[in-house]
Amino acid sequence: MKITNGYVNITSPGRNFITLKIETDEGIYGLGDGTLNGRELAVASYLTDHVIPCLIGRDPFQTEDIWQYLYRGPYWRRGPVTMSAIGAVDMALWDIKGKALNTPVYNLLGGKSRDGVLVYCHAFGKDIDAALEDVAHHKNLGYRAIRVQSGIAGLKSTYGVAKGPGRYEPAERGLPSEYEWETEPYLRSVPKLFARVREAFGEDLYLLHDCHHRLTPIEAARLGKELEPFHLFWIEDPTPAELQEGFRTIREHTTTPLAVGEVFNSLWDAHDLIRNQWIDYIRATLTHAGGFTPMKKLADFAELYHVKTGCHGATDLSPVCMAAALHFDTAIHNFGIQEHMPHTDETDAVFPHQYYFKDGYMYPGDAPGLGVDLDEALAAKYPYQRAYLPVNRKIDGTLTDW
Ligand code: CS2
Ligand code: MG
């Protein structure tokens, strides 16, 4: 089999998505997600201008060789744009392989290691009472694991809480808006939030919380310690992880499990975190970390150190990545949990898919390949619209991590 053509689809059914389609001489095609929130067109150009021309004529079954060609070949390595582009190619090639062999991708990765994939959803509210209502709503939908975020008194906006009615969506159309941040009120509020959640819902729910890279290691250590009585499944991105050693401080002070990695694009971003056992869950995604080929290696490496996976699954990853993640989660041994932020009906219609949610778990379906498609005629009705993630400033005006 030979790759004969490839092109990038850009669509915006509510938010922007970059999808790579790779076609072959046997009529089989594969899809890959290359969406990088707020920097979508850079990945589209990387694919169209630099990657696709090098793919024509290659054997799509050679996923390892093609991955190495795209990673080592250009000399310039890593970075979110490069790795999202490589991730899209790798995903599309595994989709082709599955379709050609008439089997779901999870069978190519080791077969089913579990029946269903435990997922967590997002609950939030402008204050603690509203967050509790949203937890109740999601519990009634059947979720067994719920991430909880709430507004902070005195701050106009915070991560994970929608500004208006409707679900939370991080990117906003137009140029970046500015959010406001102050650490101390946040640190005082989160333990109160989880005390109330446990009081209202008991011990059975798995509870998670995202700090979104906003704390220093010692602040995160304090938060982890104060959350210990509420037995969280994890705190996520407690501190930025460029300095992997920062996690040592957090680890030395608390037994609250730690998750990090949604912005990672390589095993090397997590190398010290994993081999020193400073984290419990690695959140790298198939799109941003370069596809199945390196993610399988990352998971296998993590397994040696008792680290499990908890793949990023925000709405800025398309249903193609969601499908890929569910095949991956079904197959690997050290799966921990999968994030699930449901897409809008418009997005689901553009990307018809086999995967589904039932009673707290998700299932990839048994269609050959990834089990997800792209309705290009419908996608064309939603042209690209510029959108950015917000930026964040401390109340004295200093730019800080969003
Ligand atoms: C978040 C994301 O899902 C998460 O855990 O941290 O929503 C993140 O803010 C977005 O993916 C940014 O594009
Ligand atoms: Mg996060």
For residues 335 and 364, the answer to whether their CB atoms sit within 8 Å is: no
Best mutation site among 148, 168, 286, 312 for ligand 1 pocket (most ligand atoms within 8 Å of CB): 312
User: 393-402: long-range contacts at Cβ-Cβ below 8 A with a sequence spacing of 24 or more?
Assistant: 393/178, 393/179, 393/180, 393/181, 394/180, 394/181, 394/182, 395/180, 395/181, 395/182, 400/181, 400/214, 401/212, 401/213, 401/214, 401/240, 402/159, 402/179, 402/212, 402/213
Angle between the 319-331 and 292-303 helix axes, to the nearest 10 degrees?
Answer: 40
Query: What pLDDT digit, counting tens, does each position of 274-321 carry?
Result: 999 999 999 999 999 999 999 999 999 999 999 999 999 999 999 999
Per DSSP bridges, beta strands 356-358 and 361-363 are antiparallel
Task: Give Cβ neighbours of residue 169 (< 8 Å, ≥ 6 apart).
Answer: 14, 15, 162, 315
Give 168's pLDDT tier (boundaries 50, 70, 90). Answer: confident
Mean pLDDT over 85-113 rounds to 98
Please give the pLDDT value at position 169: 85
Mean pLDDT taken over the chain: 97
The mean per-residue pLDDT over the stretch 87-113 comes to 98
Across the strands, what pairs with 258? 235
Q: Which parts of 46-162 are beta strand (E)?
A: 117-125, 145-150
- pLDDT at 157 (0 to 100): 82
Out of 33, 168, 210, mutate this one to test ligand 1's pocket (max ligand atoms within 8 Å of CB): namely 210
- Whole-model pTM over 0.95: yes
pLDDT 10s digits, 60-85: 999 999 999 999 999 999 999 999 99
pLDDT at 158: 87
Decide if 212 is catalytic: yes
Among 276, 211, 210, smallest CA distance to 243 is for: 276
* Å from CA of 385 to ligand 2 middle: 24
- Ligand 1 atom 3 nearest Cα: 314
N-terminal to C-terminal alpha carbon distance within the chain: 45
**pLDDT tens digit string along 20-55?**
999 999 999 999 999 999 999 999 999 999 999 999
Could you read off the pLDDT of 212-256 as tens digits, one per residue?
Answer: 999 999 999 999 999 999 999 999 999 999 999 999 999 999 999
Residue 349 has a pLDDT of: 98
Using CB atoms within 10 Å of the CB of residue 363, give its burial: 0 to 12 exposed, 13 to 18 middle, 19+ buried.
middle
- Class (C level, CATH) for 3-104: alpha beta
**Residues near ligand 1 with C-beta < 6 Å?**
37, 170, 210, 212, 262, 312, 314, 316, 339, 389
Confidence grade of residue 154 (pLDDT, cut at 50, 70, 90) = confident
- Domain borders along the chain are 3-104, 108-367
Neighbours of 15 (CB within 10 A): 24
CA 13 to chain centre: 19
Across the strands, what pairs with 387?
173
* CATH 3.20.20.120 given to domain 108-367: yes
Residue 159 known to be catalytic: yes
Q: Compute, in angstroms, the gap from residue 255 CA to the centroid of ligand 1.
A: 24
Q: Distance between CA atoms of 340 and 326, rounded to whole angstroms?
A: 10
Residue 167, pLDDT score: 85
The mean pLDDT value for 5-29 works out to 98
Ligand 1 centroid, distance to 289 Cα (angstroms): 15
Quick check: 7 pLDDT over 90?
Answer: yes
How much of the chain, in percent, has pLDDT values that exceed 90?
96
- State yes or no: pLDDT of 163 exceeds 90: no
Dihedral-angle region of residue 372 (phi above 0 means left; psi in -120 to 50 means alpha; beta otherwise):
beta
- The answer to whether 178 and 322 have CB atoms below 8 angstroms apart is no
pLDDT in the model for residue 315: 96
Task: Report the pLDDT value the prediction gives residue 166, as an integer from 0 to 100.
Answer: 84
Q: Would the pLDDT of 346 be above 90?
A: yes
